Amino acid sequence: MCTLFTKICDAVAVAKILNASLFIPQLEVNPVWQDSSMFMDIFDVDHFINVLKDDISIVKELPDDFYWSTREYYATAIRANRVKTAPVHASANWYIENVSPILKSYGIAAIAPFSHRLAFDNMPKDIQHLRCKVNFQALVFVPHIRALGDALISRLKYLPTERESSTNYLNVVTDSRSKQGNGKFVVLHLRFDKDMAAHSACDFGGGKAEKLALAKYRQVIWQGRVLNSQFTDEELRSQGRCPLTPEEIGLLLAALGFDNSTRLYLASHKVYGGEARISTLRSLFPLMEDKKSLASSEERAHIKGKASLLAALDYYVGMHSDIFISASPGNMHNAMVGHRTYLNLKTIRPNMALLGQLFLNKSLTWPEFQEAVVEGHKNRQGQLRLRKPKKSIYTYPVPDCMCSA
């Protein structure tokens, strides 16, 4: 879902560069999650159009005169107005030189694929500012995601300190907030699903059977083309290339001073290993919650089985948390880091290389581990970082999105 932010922001920017109208982006069905959600299922289209009305023209539906240009009309044939040669991180001039002639000839151009097809460097300032405006102001989730998110946030902030029955718990309302909780919570993005575990090629303690199962899964999904598989587990961990397991992220949080009174929201898809895998984390943080524990089945009916909407809900809750931390870098981590930086919110970025080395050292005592963790994360808790060349403006919004000069 979070890669959508980048694609949509860049699509708006390209439309501006070409002085063209933008047709609401069409989303591909995700081959892994099998999610067919469209743009209007995830984002508030009217808000999107209204915020950008002074920048570009956006149309919800393609005019009948251009139906001939759709994929449905052409089926498997090649569309004459399709641009499929856009290089990764193309310049503004590339679009002017290569796409403008197609627009003039056909009146419409379809650019696909469009992932990471616009450069972050050497862009006009107005284009950079527009990308920021889209990402941080125009893209807002649909009302029912925001409403459910607000309900979850209220329950997280003011949940009872002692768990009551599930029925009473789900009915906690803001009227009782004065006597329940301190109103603060942490969101943990536990990026530990089967795809992540397999693609990392790391050892997660499941023995020979687990190694063989993950190797077979890698072969099926990626035909064995996984760079990490050529390294040993120790090499990968020492380089910070292994995702943190639920047990490891629990130790990190404990070393940073979080304890069993911390209200923790678990943002994740299916955790590899299921409930048994997160039992240790849950024992460390008994007030840990997730979508399923906080919302009734009726409330979750609209998003059940829809990975994009489930991720949107987690993202919304994450943006309203007091602290956000991700178990490993990735699309959601990068999007959240940039968005929370833009709003000056605290985000903890795990030092993956340091943690990998610490977990490999079996002779460390707890005080030694804690001291190393605290020292290694002093400058990784939301401090502003200037964007470096070729880095994403959406992950590093300083200076492009936050400086007027």
The mean pLDDT of 87-102, rounded to a whole number, is: 97
Which of 125-139, 178-192, 240-254 is the least confident region? Answer: 178-192
The DSSP symbol for 289 reads E
CA angle 319, 197, 218 (to 5 degrees): 130
pLDDT per position as a tens digit, 298-318 = 999 999 989 899 999 999 999
Residues paired with 266 in a beta bridge:
188
What value does the mean pLDDT take over residues 221-230? 81
More confident residue, 113 or 12: 12
The mean of the pLDDT values for the chain is 89
pLDDT at 229: 81
Closest CA to 172 of 156, 184, 185, 155: 155
The predicted-structure confidence for 235-258, as pLDDT tens digits, reads as follows 999 999 999 999 999 999 999 999
The pLDDT value given to residue 390: 95
Report the pLDDT value the prediction gives residue 69, as an integer from 0 to 100: 83
Residue 26 has a CB neighbour count (10 Å cut-off) of 12
Neighbouring CB atoms inside 10 A of 78's CB total 7
Q: What angle do CA 87, 91, 95 make, to 5 degrees?
A: 75
Please answer whether residues 14 and 86 qualify as being in contact, where contact means their C-beta atoms are separated by less than 8 angstroms.
no
CA dist 341 and 398 (Å) reads: 9
So what's the pLDDT on residue 75? 64
